[in-house]
Structure 1
Amino acid sequence: MLQVIRAQLMSRPFLWLLFFCNLLGTIYGFYWYRYQIEDTAWYWNFFVPDSPTSSGLFTLVILLWLIRKSSPFLEMLSMVTNIKYGIWACGVIFTYGIADGGIEAQNWMLVLSHGAMAVEVILYNFAYKFDWRLLWIGAVWLLFNDFVDYVYGIHPYLQDERFYSDVQFWTPMLSILTLLLVALLRPKARTN
């Protein structure tokens, strides 16, 4: 049964569907961040759109699979960033939603799309070629991004400042937990 599911996940029609869904989500994500990108100094702009950059990385991974190639480096970055930012967005939305007594419809769309980011990269764990030794690059990427976000104020806009200190504390913790999870999911060495 597991082999049937994996074969379906790697089938070309399903990969093309996933590619276009992620491509559209990535484009919309950059559109979503347009005002924050405009309000941010140009040299920090790369650090603003965390989620669309993450989904864009997975889109590239899918495209490589479609042309029968792979990039362990892109697979690793895609996995750690999609897990981290997918969970981060859901956590922040739920935090405000619980405090406010409900979650708006637009935020449910964000929960579903960001939750899907984390789930899809975990579903494809079987197809990745990278081993845990590449994770040091992911650690630098995530933790430097956290540093820039909360030292220079480049983090995604929050609804308000009520939970800023909580988000500031839990964001690097989530980076570390993400790296540990991926280290547990990846084999110590790959032969293929």
Structure 2
Amino acid sequence: MNVIYSWFANRQMLIFLLIVNVFGTAYGYYWYGYQLAETPAIFLAFVPDSPTASLFFSLVLLGFILKKNFGLFEALAIISLFKYGIWAVVMNLLTFMTTGSLPLEGYMLIASHLGMAIQGIIYAPFYRIKPWHLIVAGIWTIHNEMIDYVFGMMPSYRDLVAYMDLIGYFTFWLSILSIFVGWYFGFRKKRFTLSLIK
């Protein structure tokens, strides 16, 4: 294991990232609060996309700290972190291109969501994803897509309403790419064991 991964496998780093992701998850659910208040109960689990992705990764990190692999959560985490991390970056950049400005919160969202996408990939050598984990995570991802763009439960970006059809099309292919990313990084031959975590 190289020096970089020795740093990321440090127990203190894992605890730090767990705390960051737990707080990020809590803030994310708070950020979605107004939309969740208007969401039918049957769709509640599928609306707060980014905080649910960071919740999956928080469970992965907790597993690492306990030196356990939660393969299904690892598959859900890498796919959803990449998908919603990249999605939020693109949506905020599109908002900037459309309106000519972006609030400070928008730049914060770009940085934090880019970090989401990266962290899910960084820890991939420690994952123990099985084919059925990836299949379930892939179904969850595409199903979430249908809930968002068939039933209109997608995150609310008021400045981009006119582009919803194109955003839905882009998001579908981003989902496919994210599943591929989960497969590519989740099944690479070079693996690290959790026994390396100190």
TM-score by length of 1: 0.93
1:7 paired with 2:10, answer no
1:79 paired with 2:78, answer yes
CA distance in structure 2 between the aligned counterparts of 1:48 and 1:186, rounded to whole angstroms: 26
SS in 2 for 1:29: helix
Cα displacement string for residues 97-132 of structure 1 (whole angstroms, at most 9, x for unaligned residues): 112223221100111111111000111111111145
- Residue 185 to residue 132, structure 1, CA distance change in 2 (3 Å): farther
CA drift of 1:189 comes to 7.2
More displaced 10-residue stretch of structure 1: 108-117 or 129-138: 129-138
SS in 1 for 2:90: helix
CA drift of 1:18 comes to 0.4
More displaced 10-residue stretch of structure 1: 173-182 or 45-54: 173-182
Cα displacement string for residues 123-174 of structure 1 (whole angstroms, at most 9, x for unaligned residues): 1111111145532212101110000111111111112312211111111110
Residue 22 of structure 1 corresponds to 21
Structure 2: which amino acid aligns with 1:118? Answer: A
Residue 125 of structure 1 corresponds to 124
CA drift of 1:37 comes to 0.5
TM-score by length of 2: 0.91
The root-mean-square deviation of aligned C-alpha atoms, in Å, is 1.8
Q: RCO higher in 1 or 2 (8 Å CA, sep ≥ 6)?
A: 2
CA distance in structure 2 between the aligned counterparts of 1:133 and 1:30, rounded to whole angstroms: 29
CA distance in structure 2 between the aligned counterparts of 1:188 and 1:34, rounded to whole angstroms: 38
**Structure 1 unaligned runs (5+)?**
none
Cα displacement string for residues 71-112 of structure 1 (whole angstroms, at most 9, x for unaligned residues): 111101111001001111111111111122232211001111
* Pairs aligned (count): 191
CA distance in structure 1 between the aligned counterparts of 2:59 and 2:82, rounded to whole angstroms: 16
- Give aligned-pair identity as a percent: 32
Cα displacement string for residues 11-62 of structure 1 (whole angstroms, at most 9, x for unaligned residues): 1111110000000000000000011100011111111100000001101110
Residue 180 of structure 2 corresponds to 180
